[in-house]
Amino acid sequence: MTDPLPSPNEPPIIAPMPGGAPVIAPPILAPPPRRLTAGWAAIILLIYLGAQFGASVVVGGVVGFYFGVMHAVHRAHGPLAQDIARAAPKMLLWGVVFAMLGGGLTMVAAARAMLREPLKDRSAVGAAWVGGSPRDCAEGLAVGILAGLGAVAVILVCNALGIHGEPGLFSKLLGQGGLRLASLLATLVIVAPVFEELLFRGVLYAGLRASSGALRAGALTTGIFVLLHFSELINFPPAMLCLGGLGALTLWIRLRRAAIGPAIGVHMGYNLVVVGAALTAGIQ
């Protein structure tokens, strides 16, 4: 009769030396899962920004090559200024699209490689990278639409009070059509909300919360989110109120529903209304 196999939870027994007692091997302990701290959150944020910059550099190199070729072609055929004026918005638009895609995809890949366990943690100190229920996501979308309408109302009130801003970067790019416009709209309404929520209300807030507490983490996360939209703040400073409100709402629903999906819904609904107003009514 053969000996029964040892239980997987029992440490293996090594055969004894001649004349000695059996030797029990120590169990092999797996390393503890990596915690999501402010340091790791900062690394992921820097990777995101660095990848965006890298994608912009690549697109900038393409732009430089394009204009170099155009300059060589036009040296004998007249000035190049008109061609540059026509091509610059197109190149800038693709720079924005590829920077957002490059930064977001690189950030997700880095976070999954470094912080696989904390990403699935739905607590306040986890990134909560889970979709949530369809009902919660629909709730987030509805809240975002209402927030977007509120932002449009703020802009209209400011305009009525004589506070006008120069058209921002995205407002200028919305004047294009065809595939370029469709790509920009998809980036603003779908791609940007997904990646920004995974980063800000997911990784960044959880890391800061674990190291700094709830109040400071919320303030820092929202502040960084607002500052990274400086292109809108420069042209229209009251946009700080709208962006700050968006950051607070997305964080509230992420904590309330313990999932990042509803926060993405809020962000999508907000961007859908604001971008739609800028596109159809010319609201900056």
Question: Over the stretch 190-207, which tens digit does the pLDDT of each residue have?
Answer: 999 999 999 999 999 999
Sign of CA dihedral 113, 118, 124, 125: negative
* DSSP code for 33: P
What is the residue-averaged pLDDT of the chain?
83
Percent of the chain with pLDDT over 70: 74
Structure confidence at residue 176 as a pLDDT band (50, 70, 90): confident
> Which of 26-30, 74-78, 265-269 is predicted most confidently?
265-269
Structure confidence at residue 57 as a pLDDT band (50, 70, 90): confident
How much is the pLDDT for 235? Answer: 82
Q: Is residue 163 part of a domain?
A: yes
Q: Is residue 19 part of a domain?
A: no
Q: Is residue 23 part of a domain?
A: no
Instruction: Report the domain count for the chain.
Output: 1
* DSSP code for 189: I
177-193, pLDDT tens digit by residue? 788 888 889 999 999 99
CB 145 within 8 A of CB 250: no
Q: Is residue 251 part of a domain?
A: yes
pTM of the entire predicted model:
0.81
How much is the pLDDT for 203? Answer: 97
Least reliable range by pLDDT among 37-46, 94-103, 160-169, 244-253: 160-169
Structure confidence at residue 72 as a pLDDT band (50, 70, 90): low
Q: Is residue 25 part of a domain?
A: no
Q: What would the mean pLDDT of 80-97 be, rounded to a whole number?
A: 68
Please write down the long-range contacts of 142-145, taking CB distance under 8 Å and 24 or more positions apart. 142/269, 143/249, 143/253, 143/265, 143/266, 143/269, 144/249, 144/265, 144/266, 144/267, 144/268, 144/269, 144/270, 144/271, 144/272, 144/273, 145/269, 145/270, 145/272, 145/273
- Residue 143 one-letter amino acid: V
- Is pLDDT of 18 > 70? no
* Distance, CA of 1 to chain centre: 62
Residue length, the chain? Answer: 284
Find the domain containing 181 and state its range. 38-280
How much is the pLDDT for 109? Answer: 97
- Is pLDDT of 15 > 90? no
Structure tokens that stand for 34 in this block: 């990596």
Percent of the chain with pLDDT over 90: 52
How much is the pLDDT for 30? Answer: 52
CA distance 274 to 188: 10
Q: Is residue 102 part of a domain?
A: yes
- Is pLDDT of 61 > 90? no
- Residue 189 one-letter amino acid: V
Q: Is residue 201 part of a domain?
A: yes
104-163, pLDDT tens digit by residue? 999 999 999 999 899 999 999 999 999 999 999 999 999 999 999 999 999 899 888 888
Q: Is residue 237 part of a domain?
A: yes
